[in-house]
Amino acid sequence: MIVYILIVSILVAGVAFAAAGEFDEAKAIIAAQTSCSQLSNGQLEMVGDYYMEQMHPGEEHVLMDGMMGGEGSDSLRQVHISIAQRIYCGERGGGLINGGMMGMMGGWGYSGMMGSLGGIGLGVGFLFMLLFWALIILALYWLIKQLLGAKTTETGSRGSGESALNILKTRYASGEISKADFDRIKTDLDLEGK
């Protein structure tokens, strides 16, 4: 689990570092109010990716990108372009972003699944975020349980032969059992080397 958290952290850091330059270029395009007709698909993709980062920062952005096909995929590229066309250019119409999956998640100001459930907010993005945090909490619970389990086993208080031998020695030392009983029980429990 620690490896998984480390990998996700490295991915987030890598995406953030790589995207920083593109985000600066996207901010410059937005600040200059460049006409959409003058922008290439690559520039629209950068602008859309920038807007997605604003809506879903950091690790959430990485997860969203993964759900949309993953970094470098044509489907993610189209999603970013559609976001730019919708938000920056103000275009409406069909396509993946407007009529498809992103429309279900709320459509950034338009009524979608998240906006049309009477304020409940149970959209696809919310459910994925909930699942993500539930997995993180379960992983932390498991990790703590493993660490505490290892600690109690090391101290001999749960399930170890050391604990049985200590109990046996205590009973012998208090005079509760004789030397013969001690040796017999020790042999029966196979505590010779412990």
Task: Give residue 28's pLDDT.
Answer: 82
Which pLDDT band, with edges at 50, 70 and 90, does 19 fall under? low
Q: What is the pTM of this model?
A: 0.41
Residue 86 pLDDT > 60, yes or no?
Answer: yes
Which pLDDT band, with edges at 50, 70 and 90, does 162 fall under? low
Model pLDDT for residues 27-82, shown as the tens digit of each residue: 888 888 888 888 888 888 888 888 888 888 888 878 888 888 888 888 888 988 88
Cβ contacts of 27-33, under 8 Å, gap ≥ 24: 30/88
**H or E segment and range at residue 186:** helix 179-188
Neighbouring CB atoms inside 10 A of 43's CB total 18
Residue 137 pLDDT > 90, yes or no?
Answer: yes
Task: Give residue 135's pLDDT.
Answer: 95
DSSP per-residue codes, 13-80: HHHHHHHHHHHHHHHHHHHHT--GGG--HHHHHHHHHHHHHHHS-THHHHHHHHHTT-TT-HHHHHHH
**H or E segment and range at residue 131:** helix 124-155
Task: Give residue 107's pLDDT.
Answer: 44
Q: On the CB side of 16, how many CA atoms lie within 13 Å of its CA?
A: 12
Q: How many Å separate Cα 79 from the centre of its chain? A: 22
Residue 118 pLDDT > 90, yes or no?
Answer: no
Residues 80 and 48 sit within 8 Å (Cβ to Cβ): yes
Residues 36 and 83 sit within 8 Å (Cβ to Cβ): no
Whole-number Å distance between alpha carbons of 84 and 96:
13
**The pair of three-digit structure tokens given for residue 18, joined into one six-digit string:** 């790589």
Lowest-confidence region among 20-24, 119-123, 127-131, 180-184: 119-123
